[in-house]
Amino acid sequence: MSSLKHLFPSTFQYACQFPVRITDINYGGHVGNDRLLVFAHEARMQFLQAYEYSEMELGQTSLMLTKATIEIRKELFFGDQLSIAVQALHFTSKGFDLLYKIEKISEGQPVLAAIVLTTMLCYDYKNKKVALLPDQVLQRLSV
């Protein structure tokens, strides 16, 4: 089975930090895979906001998540401090992928806990159809 780690750039465009909350813990006593998508969503919103975008306001269009891949490397527990790095890549005329490197800080050092890859499609919610990726967005996010 191949790993998403080979997609890692030398540096990521954006990073944010937040703790694992008690509401993130499942019946197994750790963070469940569904919460990793929630963490990616939070990081995606912060990433887009850093570029003065949102999922509903991306140039002249919006975004829809159409595919997600999760690779779990380490368990996460209540109170763990997370650092999530985000990188836009694989641009097409109608969207792009976002790669998320989720690390927990352990003894002052980052430890890779999970990798998430989401495919984001440009979408016109009003007319219910796929839209083109605006050139301005491509230029700003493809650094």
pLDDT single digits (tens) 42-75: 999 999 999 999 999 999 999 999 999 999 999 9
Res 143: pLDDT: 80
Could you give the domains of the chain? 13-136 (3.10.129.10)
Q: Which amino acid is at 47?
A: F
Query: pLDDT for 77-103, tens place per residue?
Result: 999 999 999 999 999 999 999 999 999
CA–CA separation, 125 and 133 (whole Å): 14
